[in-house]
Amino acid sequence: MNPPKLFISYSWSNPDHEKKVVDIATELRESGVDVILDKWDLKEGNDAITFMEKMVTDPELKKVAIICDEKYASKADGRAGGVGTETQIISKEVYDNQGQDKFVAVVFEKDEHGKAYLPTYYKSRIYIDLSVEDKYSDNFDQLLRWIYDKPLYIKPKIGNTPSFLSENPQKSLGTTALFNRCIDAIKNDKPHAIGTVDEYFSKFTEGLEQFRIEKTAEAFDDDVMGSIDAFLPYRNQAIQLFTTISKYAQNENLTHHLHRFFESLIPYMDRPKNVNQYMEWDYDNFRFIIHELFLYSIAIFLKNDRITQANYLLQNQYYIPTNDGGKASMANFSIFWKDVRSLDYRNSRLQLNRISLRADLLKERSASTGIDFIHLMQADFVAFMRFEIEPNDDYYYWLPETLAYLGPFNNPFEIFSRSTSKSYFEKSKILLNIESVEDLEPLLNSYKDGSRQLPRLSYRGWSPSALIGYEKLATRP
C-alpha cells in the first residue's frame, strides 16, 4: 500500500513559525505520511507558483493541509501582499471547485478572544486545532485519521425497520413533543411543569384506545403479544418520564398527578361502555401494559429513594367508574394486577411449561429500560406485602409473579437491607403501613404455620421473612 500524500500550505510568517511547520511535517513523515513541503521539494531554479498550483490542483494529490496563523488568514483574504504564495493559489474559487475532503485547516494560532485565524472561505468548516499544547497529541491523531481516511467514528450500517413500526405503523400516541416538553419543564423546575405533565398524561390515555385489539381468526394470544410489543416505545417513554419525576421534581404534587394518571387507565382493563358481548381476555393487552407501568413507577421511586412518593401510590385508593349506570367504587392499588389469561392459554398452547409467562415478559422487556429487573422484583414484593398486611376486598389480589426469578437464595431486597438501620426503618416502614418491626410478626408467623398460604411462584418456595430480612430490621443505629 502506497503511503498517503499530503501537501502543506503555509505562510512564511517568521522563522519560529516556519520551524513549527517543518517539525509537524517531520512528525507526519515519521507516521507514514508522504509530506510534500516547499523546503524539501522546491529546488533552486523551480517555478514556485507552478509548483504550488500543481500541488493544490493535482487530482492525484488527495490531501492538502492549510497551516493557519494570523498572517496566512490575512493574506488569503487579500489584506496583505506577497504574490506567488499559496494563499493566492488556494482562493475561494479553487477551494470550492475541489472536493471539500481534500483540504483541512490546521490552526496554529488564535486571537486574544480564542478565535481561530482562518481564511474567510473556510470560516464555516471544521478545523484541526494544534494551537493548544495540552490537546496537541489527541488533535494530531485527528489529523492523521483525516489523512488516512480512518475516522474515529464510523457511521453504522442501517438496520431493519423495527417490527413494531412495520406491523403497526398507524399506531402512535402522538406524545413525543409533549414528552420532550415535560422532561425539559421538570428538569428545569419550570412553573408550567405540572400542566405539561397533565397534558402528556391526557394524550397518553386517549391514545391508548388505538391499541385496542380487534378480534381476528388467528390465536388471540398472538394478538395480545403483538400489541404488547407494539406498545414498547411508549412504555419506554413513560418510564423515562417517571424517572425524571423521581430524580428532578421539586414539587411533590406531581405524584398526585401520576396517581390520577393511573386512575385514568383503569377503564381500559375491562369492557368499555356499550359493549355487551365480550370475553374477559379481550383486554389482556391493556391489563399487562398498565400493570407493567404501575410496577415501574413503584420500582423507580424506590430505586431513587423516593419512599414517600412510592407510598402515595400504594396508600391512596383509585376511583373506578361504572360502565352500566351502577354505583362507582374505590379500590386500592391491587386494581392494577389482573390475571392475563391469554398468556396462561399461550403457555399451555405452545407447551412452554413456564411458571409465569408474564414474569418472563417483564424480565425480557426490562433489558431496554435502564432499570435492573431486581428493582421490579423489589417493587412487586413490596406491593404484595402491603396488600397482605392491609385489610382488602376479596375481589382483588396482588400476585408478585416476578418473584419466579428469585433463585435459590432469598436475600433481603435493598430497601429492607438498608432498613437494618433504625433511622432508615423509620423512613421505610410506611411502605408496609406498620409502626414497628413487631407489627410484621403475626403475618410472617401465619406463613410459617401454614394458616396463610403463599402463592406458588417457584419450584423451591420462597420466604417473605428472608426477603424482608426480618431478624435484622432496625437492629443498628
Please give the pLDDT value at position 373: 96
pLDDT of residue 471: 95
CA gyration radius, the chain: 34
% of residues, the chain, pLDDT over 90: 55
Q: How do the domains of the chain map onto residue ranges?
A: 5-148, 172-405, 409-477
Residue 232, burial from CB neighbour count under 10 angstroms (0-12, 13-18, 19+): middle
CA distance 70 to 11: 9
Tell me the pLDDT band of 232, cut-offs 50, 70 and 90. very high
Summarize pLDDT for 276-327 with one digit per residue, the tens.
Answer: 667 777 899 999 999 999 999 999 999 999 999 999 999 999 999 876 656 6
Any idea which residue has 417483564 for its cell?
362
Asked if the model's pLDDT at residue 104 lies above 90, the reply is: no
Cα-based distances in Å from 142 to 132, 146, 189, 315: 14, 6, 40, 58
Task: Work out the pLDDT band at 95, boundaries 50, 70, 90.
Answer: low
Is the pLDDT at 82 greater than 50? The verdict is no
- The per-residue pLDDT for 97 is 56
- pLDDT classification of 79: cutoffs 50, 70, 90: very low
User: Residue 411: left (phi > 0), alpha (psi -120 to 50), or beta?
Assistant: beta
Confidence of residue 80 (pLDDT cuts 50, 70, 90): very low
What pLDDT was estimated at residue 327?
63
Q: 53: helix, coil or strand?
A: helix
The per-residue pLDDT for 89 is: 54
**Which band of pLDDT confidence, cut at 50, 70 and 90, is reported for residue 124?**
low
Query: Minimum mean pLDDT among 27-31, 66-70, 126-130, 323-327: which range?
Result: 323-327
Helix, strand or coil, per DSSP, at residue 195:
helix
Calpha distance 88→147 (Å, rounded): 24
Burial of 170: CB neighbours in 10 Å, binned 0-12, 13-18, 19+: exposed
User: Are 82 and 49 within 8 A, CB to CB?
Assistant: no
- Tell me what pLDDT residue 14 has: 87
List all residues 6 or more positions away from 202 whose beta carbon is below 8 Å from its beta carbon: 264
Tell me which amino acid residue 23 is. D
Pairing of strands 329-331, 318-320: antiparallel
Judged by average pLDDT, the poorest of 203-212, 369-378, 391-400, 428-437 is 391-400
Residue pair 428/435 in contact (Cβ under 8 Å)? The answer is: no
Q: Which of 65-74, 166-175, 178-187 has the lowest mean pLDDT?
A: 166-175
Residues 333, 262: Cα–Cα separation, whole Å = 9
Would the pLDDT of 216 be above 80?
no
Which value, to the nearest 10 degrees, does the dihedral of the CA atoms of residues 105, 70, 131, 103 take? Answer: 10
Q: Identify the pLDDT of residue 87.
A: 47
Query: What SS3 state is found at 208?
Result: helix
Question: pLDDT > 70: what percent of the chain?
Answer: 88
Q: Is the pLDDT assigned to residue 170 strictly greater than 90?
A: no
In whole angstroms, what is the distance from residue 388 CA to residue 380 CA?
A: 12
SS3 154: coil
Q: Which DSSP state fits 90?
A: S
Whose cell is 398472538? That residue is 222
Adjacent-strand bridge partners of 128: 106
Q: What 3-state class would DSSP assign to 414?
A: helix
Q: pTM, whole model, 2 decimals?
A: 0.66
CA distance 33 to 298: 59
Q: Are strands 63-68 and 103-107 parallel, antiparallel or unpaired?
A: parallel
- Let me know if domain 5-148 sits in CATH 3.60.15.10: no
What residues are paired with 319 via a beta bridge?
330
Between the two ends of the chain, the Cα-to-Cα distance in Å is 71
Distance of CA 353 to the CA centre of its chain: 34
Q: What was the pLDDT predicted at 81?
A: 43
* Cα distance between residue 257 and residue 254, in whole Å: 5
- Vertex 310, ends 448 and 411: CA angle to 5°? 40
Distance CA 292, CA 296 (A): 6
Is the per-residue pLDDT at 331 higher than 80?
A: yes
Cell numbers linked to 188: 428545569
**Residue with cell string 391512596:** 316
Predicted pLDDT of residue 326 = 60
Residue pair 403/454 in contact (Cβ under 8 Å)? The answer is no
> Residues 6 or more apart from 200 whose CB is under 8 A from it?
175, 178, 179, 181, 182, 241
- Looking at residue 61, what is its pLDDT? 82
- pLDDT digit string (tens) for 361-374? 999 999 989 999 99
